[in-house]
Amino acid sequence: VLLSAYGPDTARQLIEVAAPPTESTPAGDGRRAVIGVSGFVSDPALTWAGRNHIQLFVNGRMIRDPRLTFAVVQAYHTLLPVGRFPLAILFIDLPPQEVDVNVHPTKVEVRFRDEGAAFGAVQRAVRAALMESTARRRKRRRRTGPLTRSTTRLCESALRCSSAALADLKPS
């Protein structure tokens, strides 16, 4: 679905979020909620001018929640230019009694029993996926190594020679 909706170039730049369900800190009533977060977020290089590419689902239901949207944006703290936003498709799973879906007639707005726990779970899951992705890219870069100065000079020389050879082939 992501491939058909956003295309192959965008799909290649998505990072999987697969945070196992974790217990939140106790709410005011002393209970802990088990919250799972999964889905995909964009590489920090892939951004949009608005937040409308952040899609959230709670227990399979699409929702709009400015606080959870902010949790996604906050997870990218220092990774995005000002005024730019990521793509995110996130599925938040928690016990039904921890979320009230009867807040809005169309049921797109919800109320969490412990908003802080939901916020923290989303923010931590997205940030962990971003950091893991960054670490993998660095490891790959180290394995292949940066171009050395001599390799760079060799490539530049080859390009100059190719350009000169092509110029000689052009009819006058």
**Each residue's pLDDT tens digit, 58-70:** 999 999 999 999 9
> Using an 8 Å Cβ cutoff, are 90 and 39 in contact?
yes
DSSP character string of 105-117: TTS---EETTHHH
Alpha carbons 25 and 114: distance in angstroms, whole number: 9
Hey, what long-range contacts does 104-110 have (CB within 8 A, 24 or more apart)? 107/61, 108/62, 108/63, 108/64, 109/63, 109/64, 109/65, 110/58, 110/61, 110/63, 110/65
Q: What are residue 34's DSSP bridge partners?
A: 23
The gap from C-alpha 47 to its chain's centroid, in whole angstroms, comes to 10
Q: What is the pLDDT of residue 106?
A: 79
Least confident of 4-8, 30-34, 77-81, 91-95: 30-34
Residue 172 has pLDDT above 60, yes or no: no
Residue 166 has pLDDT above 50, yes or no: no
pTM of the model: 0.76
Q: How far apart are the first and last CA of the chain?
A: 53
